[in-house]
Structure 1
Amino acid sequence: MSRQPDVTLTQLRYFVEAASALSMTKAAEELRVAQSAVSAAIAQLERQVGTALFIRRHARGLVLTAAGEELLRDARGLLAHVGEVLDAARGRGDEVRGHIKLAFMITLVPFVLPDLLAELGANYPELEVEVLELEAGAVSDALRSGTVEAAVTYDLGLGPGVAREVIAEVPPYVILPPGHRLADQPEVRLGELVGEPMVLLDLPHSRDYFRDVVATSGTPPWIAYRSSSVEAVRGMVARGLGYSLLNQRPVLNGTYNGGHVEARPIADDVPALSVVVAWMESIRRSARARAVTDTVREVVQRLRSATWGGRPTPP
């Protein structure tokens, strides 16, 4: 029987910190230990594993090898699980405390994040929340790499192996320039916009979703302008450069450039987007993650009618 590597939790913690910072020096500063201790622990870990985990570049930091990337993903999950086991042994398994790192879909950030952080801070003062604002594809990558414990996002591009809880269904709506010929209608049919220029919210996965929604009219969209910024899209519509589709809806119709847009529901039966909290199926959810999920659900359901006019999620 082959001998198992004698790897310690300290070695794994030092490795994760160095891999996250891509620097032994920064890892030592964060851990408040000597750099020599970090270097020695990682060198010993590499000997135990039997392969290099980093490419050392003098004065230019570290680069993870393929083995290092794989170990980083698993080590993060292992250390998180150890923390949960120890909390349970101390009778603190249900306490919401410590540090949690979340990925947030960038278009949801201004609508959900402020209230989420305020409520988590009020209800769980011992919980430290770190947020990465990412596009849809990067959200999936962050979950799979173990960079984040959970994600608040649309159900776009998450792929297999990702568990999710649907918080709300958010239908798309049309925004029109002021004075548009359809602005007096309470609802707009997509067929009425055929032949008009569209300003596309150009983000991975989102762009395909909006194209597919418009294509339900039987005619693909004429995309005249595009931007990865929701507010830039709204500003271009306000200046009469075209119409657009969005899901997240501000309470006010004003734009950053001093204009305004007219928001109208879509009369056609078009697919909504699901707002979800997501996590890896292979990772046991911590009390921290469960608290975040519960709070996100409360925040989104409260904001849904005020901002999106979305449909509630069935219990």
Structure 2
Amino acid sequence: MDLPEVELRQLRVFLVVAETGHVGRAAERLGIAQPPLSQQIQRLEARVGYPLFKRHAKGVDLTPAGRELLPVARAALDLVAHGLDAARRKGRGEAGRLRVGMAASLAASFLPPMVRAFRAAHPGVVLDIREMTTDPQADALRDGLIDVGVGRDATPSPGITVRTIAREPLVAVLPRGSRITEVPTGLAGETFALFPASAGAAFHDRILGVCRAAGFTPRVGHEATEWPTLIAFVAAGLAVTIAPKSVPLAGVERRELPGGADTAVTVSRRQADADPIVEAFCGIALTSR
């Protein structure tokens, strides 16, 4: 359907004339001369195809066509005003929705201070936190499903930039009552429960690297993408694992690893994304710890 071209100023002039019922008073309120005001009304009437006002000695009254247009003109001008205000707030990073992919292992440690700091600075922004392992975050960013990814040991990829926001120690996790005293060397020959490489290849390689540096390659017998599941395997005596220190460890024992073995907490975003809300979140992520 072809829509007639109507300028917002024509609707604004029409609305003021309708409200005042007088061309002269409308021109005074708008701060313009009567002839250009009348021209705007005439152009609008030409677009509609019918007169909008009937003139009389004391001013003007709306015609049936004018009465039909009046609520539409009000709604259109209100909608544009609200839209402009929303765009300005979005441009200032004060409103909108931010979709964040977050590795579950960060929920108890890194997520709370990050979210509190962001919400205090940007109360008008709705945070949509989605649990997501690290490597799938890159595809979700490229596909526009999330705006920011927070994970472990993420690596840059085409179109995706990554920054480290913190480093966290790794610990050996053993069943209760384990006789293993030296770690990680004492873990040689044990069955491991680990994250699959598909969930986070760099983090997976980091765990393997800790073991290889101790002179052995771990025998992986169990895999899961959730830390509670991996820890449950250990608690049941089925396996051992190496985990970030902040992961909740119930029913198991923890051993500190020598040599400063750690994992990087990273924030990922689209390289070309200049959204001020994304900028604000990443800035807070870098300073909230």
Cα distance in 2, alignment partners of residues 210 and 130 from structure 1: 30
Indicate the residue corresponding to 1:282 in structure 2: 272
Report the CA distance shift for 1:209/1:169 in structure 2 as closer, same or farther (over 3 A). Answer: same
TM superposition shift of 1:181: 1.8
SS at match of 1:223: strand
Find the counterpart in structure 1 of residue 206 from structure 2: 209
Distance in 2 between residues matched to 1:144 and 1:89, nearest whole Å? 24
1:265 aligns with 2:256: yes
Instruction: Encode CA deviations 1:137-195: one digit per residue, 9 max, x unaligned.
Output: 21000111222222112233542332222110123211112221235xxxx43222211
Q: 1:292 corresponds to which letter in structure 2?
A: F
TM-score normalized by structure 1? 0.56
Q: Distance in 1 between matches of 2:89 and 2:192?
A: 57
Question: Are the structure 2 counterparts of residues 161 and 215 from structure 1 closer, same or farther at C-alpha, using a change threshold of 3 Å?
Answer: same
Distance 1:211 1:92 in 2: 44
After superposition, the CA RMSD in angstroms is: 2.8
The corresponding residue for 2:53 is none
Contact 1:189 1:268 in 2 (8 A): no
What 5-or-longer segments of structure 1 have no aligned partner? 1-85, 255-259, 302-315
Q: Does 1:228 align with 2:225?
A: yes
Measured in 1, the distance between the counterparts of 2:91 and 2:200 equals 38
Structure 2 counterpart of 1:134, which letter? Answer: M
Q: How far 1:221 moved relative to its partner?
A: 0.5
Change (3 A) 1:244 1:113: same
For 2:33, the equivalent position in structure 1 comes to none
**1:294 equivalenced with 2:283 (yes/no):** yes
2:281 alignment partner AA: V
1:264 to partner: Cα distance: 1.8
How far did 1:116 drift?
3.3
- Structure 1 counterpart of 2:186, which letter? E
Alignment of 1:40-59 (within 5 A): none
Per-residue Cα deviation, 1:121-148 (whole angstroms, up to 9, x for no partner): 3332211111232222210001112222
Please give the per-residue CA displacement for 1:10-62, whole angstroms capped at 9, x wherever unaligned. xxxxxxxxxxxxxxxxxxxxxxxxxxxxxxxxxxxxxxxxxxxxxxxxxxxxx
Quote the Cα distance in structure 1 between the aligned partners of 2:214 and 2:90.
55
2 CA distance for matches of 1:163 and 1:171? 24
State which of 147, 170, 173 in structure 2 corresponds to 1:172: 170
Q: Distance in 2 between matches of 1:229 and 1:90?
A: 41
- Residues 293 and 248 (structure 1 numbering): CA distance in 2 closer, same or farther, change over 3 Å? farther
Question: What is the match of residue 22 of structure 2?
Answer: none
Deviates more, 1:87-96 or 1:226-235: 87-96
5+ long unaligned stretches in structure 2: 1-83
Structure 1 pair 253/150, CA: closer, same or farther in 2 (3 Å)? Answer: closer
1:280 alignment partner AA: R
TM-superposed CA distance for 1:267, in Å, is 1.1
Q: Distance in 2 between matches of 1:294 and 1:90?
A: 21
Aligned length: 203
* Mapping for residues 217-256 of structure 1, pairs under 5 Å: 217-250=214-247, 253-254=249-250
Computing the radius of gyration from Cα coordinates, the structure with the larger value is: 2
Out of 174, 177, 183, the residue aligned to residue 189 of structure 1 is: 183
CA distance in 1, matches of 2:277, 2:175: 44
In the aligned structure 1, how far is the partner of 2:142 from the partner of 2:90? 27
**Partner-residue secondary structure (3-state), 2:138:** helix
TM-score normalised according to structure 2 size: 0.61
Partner Cα distance (2:166, 2:146) in 1 = 22
Listed one character per residue, the Cα deviations across residues 251-304 of structure 1 (whole Å, up to 9, x for unaligned) are x642xxxxx21212211454x3221221122222x32123212332344x2xxx
* CA-CA distance at 1:115 after TM superposition: 4.0
The answer on whether the counterparts of 2:183 and 2:255 sit within 8 Å (CA) in structure 1 is no
Deviations 1:51-76 (A, max 9, x none): xxxxxxxxxxxxxxxxxxxxxxxxxx
- Shift of residue 218 of structure 1? 2.1
1:311 matched residue in structure 2: none
The answer (yes or no) to whether the contact 1:190–1:268 under 8 Å persists in 2 is no
Would the alpha carbon gap of residues 275 and 97 (structure 1) be closer, same or farther in structure 2, given more than 3 Å must change? same
SS at match of 1:275: strand
